[in-house]
Amino acid sequence: MIERRGRFDYSDHAAEMLKERGISRELVERTVLDPDTIETDPKHADRTRAYKALPERDGRVLRVVYVRSDQAFRVITLFLDRGRKR
């Protein structure tokens, strides 16, 4: 099942990670739309990794993995990336 929210769709996994990790959709969407950096996922060429340092989270870096289509950004997963430098 996919949860639709405007230009963003959230996989079941991503929706669960929002709840489990206490991360808001606003932070996820800001990361996708205005990332500090992006890169292609090395295991899945159709997926993009977006990174953003979050002042709200003491500068920790949020990683959002998504696929973009003409209609929406489909968020696959998200987490605070402990190994990523700020």
What CATH number does residue 42 fall under? 3.30.2310
Domain that holds residue 19: 2-80
Query: Is 36 inside any structural domain?
Result: yes
**pLDDT, tens only, 3-56:** 555 689 999 999 999 999 999 999 999 999 999 999 999 999 999 999 999 998
Phi (first) and psi of residue 24, to 5 degrees: -85, 155
CA 9 – CA 15 distance, rounded (Å) = 9
pTM greater than 0.85: yes
In a domain, 85, yes or no: no
pLDDT at 82: 72
- 50 versus 1: which is more confidently predicted? 50
Q: For residue 8, tell me if it sits in a domain.
A: yes
Domain count, the chain: 1
What is the token pair recorded at 18? 């929002």
Q: What is the pLDDT of residue 6?
A: 62
Cβ neighbours of 16 (radius 10 Å)? 12
In a domain, 68, yes or no: yes
